[in-house]
Structure formats: structure tokens, C-alpha cells
Amino acid sequence: MSGRASKTQLALPTGIKKLTNIAVVRLKKAGTRFEIACYKNTVVAWRDGFEKDVGNVLQTTQVYGNVGKGVMAKEEDLLRAFGTKDEGLICGIILNNGELQVGEKERRHNFDNIFKDVIQVLCEKCVNPDTNRPYPPGMIESALKEIHFSVDPVRSAKQQALAAVPKLAEIFPIKRAAMRFKFVVGSESFASTIRWLLSGDVLDAVIENQTKNVTQSPQSSEITATADPSAYRVCEKFVKENGGRLEVLTQAVNEGGTTTEGFEGGQSRVDSSLGGRDEDNRFGGGSVVGDASIVSGGDKVFSTSAMAAALASADSSVDASLVSSQNGTRTPSRTVGAGTSRVERDVAQDAACGVEVLYSRGPIAGMPEEHQTRRARFSTLDDIQPKTWQVELRKKTGSTMVDAVFFDAEGVGYKAFADARREALRCSKK
């Protein structure tokens, strides 16, 4: 038979590219390089704990000296480097500790996933301090791009998200949402726990509910409070030292829903509608009504004077001045009934519940000291139109959220600071 190929003989493809669906993991040990062949997009999932079956990760349990050339590792090299010839065990060591070469598409996919996780963490754990509501994902994404946030593939999404909060706070109002704790302590530690929470050692601590049982059983009294998440370790240490128990009831306390206030896309300086708690009110972040600070939670509202009475009944040695010292000069409040009506544009009042006026309608410069952060921010209206705008601070009965309503020279009201500022700019150009 002739050595020449017949016409029916198939020619071998010459443009084939081998090993295109293999992720190579390398480990250099005892001066020798070892490699294993894995499926793409599975090594990271294995290391993160999402993939449990090693058979879905390894293409083969053989250990190579060079996967590309098909060179197998020598047994004497395996014994010298790993002390065993069990290639299955060696593959596990290389898989967990070796270097992975990641392609561009896979790297981009991982970065996008981490970026989405960062956005999700910020939406779940952060709120607008003025409204105590979370921001929608679209706003968080725009803000991260504005501060030129870069993804770190090594750090977790939660670590990167919390590290980005201070930078985000420079361009628009944002803070960590408070956590809700339940302190379960004995009756002998009840008064000291309340005193400790009100002392200022716990950042932004607000007592919402307290129940003291006179039974002799340990850990019978309960105190529900909210505080900054950074205070978790401090609270846990204090409770353990007093023989109690700390429970986390809510990871992130917010008013529900989302807020679009306080952020206008693309602007470094953000115009926000001011509501929610005073930023400078360190005593639990409560609202200020009359001559007492109000701390609310759930369906119950406690004043600082009521807390002082509870402390006195729990422990006669408790110094009530600790609570009363939190009270400064307050502006008397008045209650506006549900039937009160005003001719205002864009100002809606809920007819079903009363409204407490914390600061009666008056000049921005005359706002009391406990609202100095709002006063400084609202002063922009006086800069645009001097001695024209007035403001009124109010809150619904049973709510902790403070609303600011702005009035122009004609008495037309605006519920959002951004709307009032926009109107002031429009009038100043006439």
C-alpha cells in the first residue's frame, strides 16, 4: 500500500488549542514547583466555602510538574516536599495554599460580585442620620463611584463597606444604623446597668424598655436599648462581668422604607431635607421636647425625668443628677392638634395624629442650641435670601423623627430643604 494518505483519510486539526478550560494552581515547595489542574471558576468557590465537593473542583487528582507540557511530578519530589505519596492529600494542600492564575473575565466577574456585596452591606447596615432610613442601592452605587471606591479582592465585602462609610459621609449624610440589644441581668445589677448605659460610656445608647423582676432567680430583669454597633464588645464585656446575658434583637434599626433625601446625584455637596435625630445629641440620639429629652422605642416613650424616677425606685443610691445633667436649656413645646390647618404648598399633615412643634415658626438664626447642626445647614437660605426664610421643627406624636418645614416670605411652606433652597435660588435670580 502506498505511504501516501488516501483522499478519505481525515486530516488532524492544526489550530487546536489545548488546556483552554483549565485553571492551574501552583505551589513551590522544597525547591520544586507542583501544579494541579482545576476547573475554571471553582477554585475561589472552594476557598470561600461555597463548593463542598472537591470532585467538582479538580479535573484529576494527579500532581504535575508542568500541566501545560503534561509532565508528572516525581515520587521522590513528592516525598521530599510533602512527606507522602498520597496525591489526593497533596492536591488538597496545593488547592488550599497554592497560587491561582485568574483570567481577566473571571477577575472582572469576582470584582463585580464583591462590589455588589459592598452595596448590599451598606444598604442593610447604614442609614440617613436625618431620616433614619436606608438609602436605595442606586444611590449607594453612584456615591461609591464618586469617591472612586476600588475593590480589594482579599478583604471581605463587609470590611470594605464599613471602611467606605467615613468617605461616603464626606459627600452626603450617612452613618451606621444602630443595633438593638437586650440586657438580661439580675435584679441586683439592674440599676447599675441603667446607670452605666446613661453614663455616656456606650456610644449613642438609648434605653427603650426596662423590666425589673423582684424574684430571686438570676438574670430575671431585662433592659432593651439601642446603641452604635461599635459598642457591642463593650456591652458584652460589661454584661459578662455582671453575670448577665446580652442578646442582639435587631442588627440594624431603621424607620423602614428607603430615603432619597440628602443626596442629589453628581453633587459633592449634598442638599438634604433635615429630619430625624439631632446629630449633636449624644444622649441616645433622642428628640428634644419641652424641658426633657425623649427616648422612644416601639410603642413606648420615656423621658429623662421618667428614667430618673425608675433609677430612684430601683436603687436609692442612684444619683438622679446623672440624668438631669443631660438637660440643657430647652425650648418649650406646644402641641398642634390634628384639626389645625394651614395654607401650605407641598406640606401635608396627617389628620389622624397630633403634631408637636419643637421650634415654633421663626428665623433660622433663632433656632436653639440643641439644633445647632440644623441651624448651620439651614443658614444657606439666609445667605441666598437674607431675612426672608423661616423654619419650624415638628414631630408626630409617638415618633422620633423630626421634620423641618420652611416658609418663604409669602408664607408658602416646603417640607424638603432641597426644595426650599431651589426656590430661594430661583427667587434670587429675578
Residue of 122 and 373 predicted with greater confidence: 122
User: Percent of the chain beyond pLDDT 90?
Assistant: 15
8 Å CB contact between 231 and 331: no
Phi, psi of 313, rounded to the nearest 5 degrees = -70, -30
pLDDT tops 60 at residue 27: yes
Quick one: average pLDDT of 24-28?
91
> What pLDDT, on a 0 to 100 scale, did the predictor assign at position 215?
64
How far apart, in whole angstroms, are the C-alpha atoms of residue 24 and residue 209?
Answer: 58
pLDDT in tens, 193-215: 888 888 888 888 888 888 887 66
Quick one: average pLDDT of 242-268?
68
Identify the residue whose cell numbers are 434583637. 249
pLDDT in tens, 146-178: 999 999 888 889 999 999 999 999 988 999 898
Burial class (CB in 10 A: 0-12, 13-18, 19+), 187: middle
306-345 burial code (b ≥16 CB/10 A, e <16) = ebbebbeebeeebeeebbeebbeebbebeeeeeeeeeeee
- Band (335; pLDDT cuts 50, 70, 90): very low
> What pLDDT, on a 0 to 100 scale, did the predictor assign at position 91?
92
C-alpha grid cell, residue 367: 433656632
2, amino acid identity:
S
> Average pLDDT of the chain?
74
C-alpha grid cell, residue 20: 483552554
> Alpha carbon 184 to chain centroid distance?
26
pLDDT tops 70 at residue 10: no
Q: Does the predicted model carry a pTM greater than 0.75?
A: no
> What pLDDT, on a 0 to 100 scale, did the predictor assign at position 256?
65
> What pLDDT, on a 0 to 100 scale, did the predictor assign at position 33?
93
> What pLDDT, on a 0 to 100 scale, did the predictor assign at position 346?
38
Pick the CATH number of 178-253+292-326 from 3.30.70, 2.60.40, 1.10.1740, 1.10.3470: 3.30.70
pLDDT tops 90 at residue 418: no
> What pLDDT, on a 0 to 100 scale, did the predictor assign at position 144?
93
pLDDT in tens, 284-333: 333 333 333 333 333 333 444 444 444 444 444 333 333 333 333 333 33
- Between 45-54, 72-81, 118-127, the lowest mean confidence (pLDDT) is in 45-54
Total count of residues recorded for the chain = 430
> What pLDDT, on a 0 to 100 scale, did the predictor assign at position 36?
92
> What pLDDT, on a 0 to 100 scale, did the predictor assign at position 48?
81
Domain boundaries, the chain: 23-100, 104-175, 178-253+292-326, 330-428
8 Å CB contact between 374 and 273: no
Output the CATH code of domain 104-175.
Answer: 1.10.10.900
In 3D space, the residue among 154, 148, 122 whose CA is nearest the CA of residue 135 turns out to be 122
SS (H, E, C) the chain: CCCCCCCCCCCCCCCCCCCCCCEEEEEEECCEEEEEEECCCCHHHHHHCCCCCHHHCECCCCCEEECCCCEECCHHHHHHHHCCCCHHHHHHHHHHHCEECCCHHHHHHHHHHHHHHHHHHHHHHEEECCCCECCCHHHHHHHHHHCCCCCCCCCCHHHHHHHHHHHHCCCCCCEECEEEEEEEECHHHHHHHHHHHHCCCCCCCEEEEEECCCCCCCCCEEEEEEECHHHHHHHHHHHHHCCCEEEEEEEEECCCCCCCCCCCCCCCCCCCCCEECCCCCCCCCCEEECCEEEEEECCEEEEHHHHHHHHHHHCCCCCCHHHHCCCCCCCCCEEECCCCCCCCCCCCCCCCCCEEEEEEEEEHHHCCHHHHHHHHHHHHHHHHCCCCCEEEEEEECCCCCEEEEEECCCCCEECCHHHHHHHHHHHHCC
pLDDT in tens, 133-149: 899 999 999 999 999 99
> What pLDDT, on a 0 to 100 scale, did the predictor assign at position 167?
92
Output the CATH code of domain 23-100.
Answer: 3.30.1250.10
